């Protein structure tokens, strides 16, 4: 029997309807089963243990009529009394300390029906506004009990103001908020995100957030073996043909294709894939291309899609200039996640 040819990411140009954007605002597959009790805190980092306790209490406090019994509050009904005190939490920490795990655990622990709580990245939220319009987005999310925003982007002033305004409307409607974020360009810091940057950028909402710092090292490499070195083109191609649902693409061509697909569709780009096989991995030529690859790496990691590659090791994808620039934390996160996915792909070779 003839072996079917692998799939190709470059042959895909997905179209994503607005209804799918709303329905998919739940924790991605990698974080579907996570809970507070599956989070493994570093015993040398008390802030991680404290974060679990604080977030557990925050989730427990989100019960009540707004999220149960009466169901959604009617849009034109009497507005509830303005909430007092912190109505949100901001998880402040470097990449790989488990912020997304904790954010998803908060979503799961909140006592509300799935239709009354939403989880998405900043990019996914801005795309929802683009698809539905601002007022319709407020109406769609205004009856929710909780909105979790992962990777809140602080490097686009226009989008930051847009989402900050949206969050203000949602808080007024009684929605609780939780967020993690990336740092501002030029804020190199110590490899961690700055709560002060986040609170300043969301302007009038800062008083509604309780910053929760989470210290630690990247858990993806804590006590784990080094990532496997790149394979040969022949090994990668052979694995792609031998793996049902695998894609096979030349890395330079894939980078060109990503420029033709909006980053909000990168999740749909990976629909049904069981592995991504890439040949001729090379250093990223420019920052725009690098930022698109970061989004793709995030979506592949969310969906637990292993990545098998030949060519350049993933830790050499980004130039020293990029790794020392304003988007350094995004690039380090991408390296960390791609390295983890490369480790997951070891079993594809020689099967």
Contact 297, 337 (CB under 8 A): yes
Q: Report the pLDDT value the prediction gives residue 56, as an integer from 0 to 100.
A: 95
- CA angle 335-338-343, nearest 5°? 120
Task: Tell me the pLDDT tens digit for each residue of 210-232.
Answer: 888 888 776 666 655 566 789 99
Q: Report the pLDDT value the prediction gives residue 207, as an integer from 0 to 100.
A: 75
- Give the integer Cα–Cα distance in Å for 244 and 241: 8
Q: Report the pLDDT value the prediction gives residue 17, as an integer from 0 to 100.
A: 84
Q: Report the pLDDT value the prediction gives residue 78, as an integer from 0 to 100.
A: 43
Q: Report the pLDDT value the prediction gives residue 19, as an integer from 0 to 100.
A: 81
Predicted confidence pLDDT, tens digits, the chain (351 residues): 346 789 999 999 998 888 888 888 999 888 999 999 999 988 899 999 999 999 999 999 997 544 333 344 443 344 444 444 568 998 887 777 889 999 999 999 999 999 899 999 888 898 889 888 999 999 999 999 999 999 887 766 778 788 889 999 999 999 999 998 765 434 434 444 456 766 776 767 777 788 888 887 766 666 555 667 899 999 999 999 999 999 999 999 999 999 999 888 898 999 999 999 999 999 999 999 999 999 999 999 999 999 999 999 998 999 999 988 878 878 888 998 999 999 999 999 976
Q: Report the pLDDT value the prediction gives residue 117, as an integer from 0 to 100.
A: 95
pTM of the model: 0.77
- CA angle 119-341-249, nearest 5°? 100
Q: Which CATH class is domain 33-219?
A: alpha beta
Q: How far is CA 229 from the centre of its chain?
A: 26
Task: Provide the token pair at 31.
Answer: 């974080």
- Give the integer Cα–Cα distance in Å for 347 and 215: 33
- Give the integer Cα–Cα distance in Å for 247 and 7: 4
Q: Report the pLDDT value the prediction gives residue 297, as an integer from 0 to 100.
A: 96
Is 169 exposed, middle or buried, given 0-12, 13-18 or 19+ CB atoms closer than 10 A? middle
- Spell out a b/e string for 326-338, using b for 16 or more CB atoms within 10 Å of the CB, else e: bbbbbbbbbbbbb
Q: Report the pLDDT value the prediction gives residue 83, as an integer from 0 to 100.
A: 46
Task: Tell me the pLDDT tens digit for each residue of 134-162.
Answer: 999 999 999 999 999 998 877 667 787 88
Closest C-alpha among 103, 17, 29, 1 to residue 59? 103
Q: Report the pLDDT value the prediction gives residue 79, as an integer from 0 to 100.
A: 45
């Amino acid at each position: 029997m003839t072996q079917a040819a692998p799939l190709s990411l470059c042959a895909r140009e997905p179209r994503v309807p607005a209804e799918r954007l709303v329905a998919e605002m739940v924790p991605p597959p990698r974080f579907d089963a996570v809970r507070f009790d599956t989070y493994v805190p570093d015993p040398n980092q008390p802030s991680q243990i404290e974060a679990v306790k604080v977030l557990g209490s925050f989730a427990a406090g989100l019960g009540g009529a707004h999220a149960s019994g009466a169901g959604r509050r009617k849009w034109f009904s009497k507005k509830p009394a303005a909430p007092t005190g912190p109505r949100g939490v901001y998880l402040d920490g470097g990449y790989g300390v488990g912020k997304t795990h904790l954010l998803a655990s908060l979503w799961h622990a909140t006592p509300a029906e799935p239709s009354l709580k939403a989880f998405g990245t900043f990019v996914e939220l801005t795309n929802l506004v683009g698809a539905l319009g601002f007022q319709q987005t407020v109406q769609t999310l205004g009856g929710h009990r909780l909105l979790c925003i992962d990777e809140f982007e602080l490097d686009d002033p226009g989008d930051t103001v847009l989402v900050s305004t949206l969050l203000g409307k949602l808080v007024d409607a009684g929605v609780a908020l939780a967020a993690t974020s990336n740092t501002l360009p030029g804020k190199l810091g110590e490899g961690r995100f700055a709560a002060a940057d986040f609170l300043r950028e969301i302007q009038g909402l800062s008083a509604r957030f309780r910053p929760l710092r989470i210290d630690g090292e990247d858990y993806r490499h804590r006590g784990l073996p080094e990532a496997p070195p790149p394979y040969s083109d022949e090994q990668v191609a052979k694995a792609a043909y031998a793996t049902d649902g695998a894609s096979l693409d030349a890395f330079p061509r894939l980078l060109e294709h990503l420029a033709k697909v909006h980053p909000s569709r990168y999740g749909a780009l990976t629909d049904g894939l069981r592995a991504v096989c890439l040949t001729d991995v090379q250093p990223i030529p420019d920052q725009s291309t690098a930022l698109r690859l970061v989004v793709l790496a995030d979506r592949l990691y969310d969906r637990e899609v292993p990545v098998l590659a030949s060519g350049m090791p993933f830790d050499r994808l980004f130039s020293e200039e990029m790794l020392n620039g304003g988007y350094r934390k995004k690039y380090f996160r991408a390296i960390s996640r791609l390295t983890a996915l490369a480790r997951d792909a070891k079993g594809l070779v020689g099967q």
